[in-house]
Amino acid sequence: MPPTSTDAPPSEFAPGVACLGSRPLRRGRAGIPAVACLAAVLLGGACGGDDPADVPEDDPCTAAQVSYPTIGSQDGTRYVRDPEAVREGGSYYVFSTNDGIPIRRSSDLIHWTTLGRVFPNQLPSWAAGTIPGVQAPWAPAVAWFNGRYHLYYSLSTFGSPRSAIGLSTSPTLNPDSPDYAWTDRGKVLESFANSNYNAIDPAVIEDAEGGLWLAWGSWWDGIKMRALDRQTGLLSTANSQLYSLARRPVEQAIEGAYLIRRGQFYYLFASFDLCCQGVQSTYNVRVGRSTSVTGPYLDRDGVSLLSGGGTMVLAGYGRVRGPGHGSVLALGNEYLLVHHYYDNLDQGNAHLQVRPLVWDDAGWPVAGEPYDGTPPGPPPPGASLTGRWGYWAADEYPRAVELQAGGAARACDRTGIWSYVSPTLTIEWPAAAGTGARTDRSTLSASAGWLAGRTSDGRIIRGYRLP
């Protein structure tokens, strides 16, 4: 959790000057939300919205504007923050911040039922004596090894580095099983006022050789890592080296790490900027990768995450504000980003979303649209892509783009050429007034109902089929 900040970064929902052009993104103030916005929320409304009133009147694409897609949360998941998703048998489980770590279960990743919590008494017995003022556990991480599930959790107070990470274990996640029982194993590590890291937001990964690692960190000097002992689940005594994985030397605002191994790379996901401020939240998800679990992690431009690098995976747009602090659920060769966001149409309350990750040819992920039960993957051979699409890059409002049967992609201010080689849709856009030529490459959903990808200059592209 952040101590302070004075600068909020770009987000996907900022508008553009021209249909396919770019402009400097809006930057917001961190800290207390604007008085007008706060008043609207307190009166039961929303703030921010999708009002395109600040698009210039001479914008040639104003008439082509369309709405953002209708995006909702998974059912039964209001007030979910910092979700950790795990699959056991035919069920999916989500563990999240506060209330003794609430547990939710689903059979389809859409409809969720609350089952109870890890700590019936809100906190483990040792918490209050170790972290003064602690109210509830935060940001759990769950890993299976040595015959049981290991749940790591955070204990802290907002904005303080006096924190600790604890451990609780259970043979199963299914509360209907006679073996179900959470046993607290106590403290794993802690941080103090003079520490250069904050011991919250744990994440666990197993490397290619079977070694176990614990990453953690929030603000201060960023994301750290230590080796774990497989037998105890505690820090390894054989390897006490502290590794630094990511930091933001100027902004500081980085937390919520999550690591996966895909192919030859380890991917480090992290949340940049501000959480916990309703619709004023500026959280966004970034990623870097490395061939070694301990780093160095670089983004797609080759910038080290230790120097503030990080490739955008998901940022706010439409009703989705401050998406972040998620986990990645691996389902065979497919990956789902499970995260929270602050709903601009629900007074800024936190909700759960599950989104497929789509990967470009170089192996970099972008979060797609929320999971609706359609299996991840490209559309079937022969699926039609022609017709009208709501389409936008990271600094634009959605505009209508028509993909025509002859290969033309008609936008409001230019006509490009589109082609499709599964799973990639490519659109070559020529230069137009005030903007240069660019190439957009996107991956389509299995239903051919949405697309996500990047422009040739690295911005995220989104699109959805219009009626």
CATH number at residue 296: 2.115.10.20
User: What does each C-alpha distance from 29 to 9, 22, 47, 51, 218 come to in angstroms?
Assistant: 9, 22, 15, 20, 20
The active-site residue out of 255, 273, 369, 396 is 255
Give the residue-averaged pLDDT of 146-161: 95
Annotated catalytic residue 255: yes
Using one digit for the tens of pLDDT, what is the confidence trace for 210-227? 999 999 999 999 999 999
Question: Which of 93, 91, 85 is closest to 116 using CA atoms?
Answer: 93
Please give the Cα distance from 293 to 13 (Å, whole number).
Answer: 33
Residue 326 domain flag: yes
In a domain, 439, yes or no: no
Answer whether residue 407 is part of any domain: no
Quick: pLDDT tens for 334-352.
999 999 999 999 999 999 9
Q: How far apart are CA 151 and CA 403, in angstroms?
A: 48
pLDDT tops 80 at residue 75: no
Tell me the two tokens of residue 428. Answer: 């070559």
**Distance (Å, whole) CA 48 – CA 345:** 9
Question: Could you say which of 12, 82, 184, 343 is catalytic?
Answer: 82
For range 361-367, the mean pLDDT: 95
Query: What are φ and ψ of residue 393, in 5° steps?
Result: -95, 180
Residue 207 CB partners (closer than 8 Å, separation 6+): 213, 261, 266, 293
* pLDDT, position 44: 32
Q: Is residue 377 assigned to a domain?
A: no
Residue 299 CA to residue 301 CA, distance in Å, equals 5
Per-residue model confidence (pLDDT) at position 76: 73
Q: What domain count does the chain have? A: 1
Q: Looking at the domain assignment, is residue 329 inside a domain?
A: yes
For residues 352-362, give the mean pLDDT: 94
Give domain status of residue 440, yes or no: no
Nearest of 45, 181, 69 to residue 447 by alpha carbon:
69
Q: Is residue 207 part of a domain?
A: yes
- Taking residues 357-362, what's their average pLDDT? 94
Residues 91, 97, 103: CA angle, nearest 5 degrees: 25
Please state, rounded to an integer, the average pLDDT across all residues of the chain: 86
Q: Which domain holds residue 131?
A: 84-367
Residue 425 lies in a domain: no
pLDDT value at residue 182: 98
Q: Give tens-digit pLDDT for 101-141.
A: 999 999 999 999 999 999 999 999 999 999 999 999 999 99
- 141's enclosing H/E stretch is strand 138-145
CB 30 within 8 A of CB 8: yes
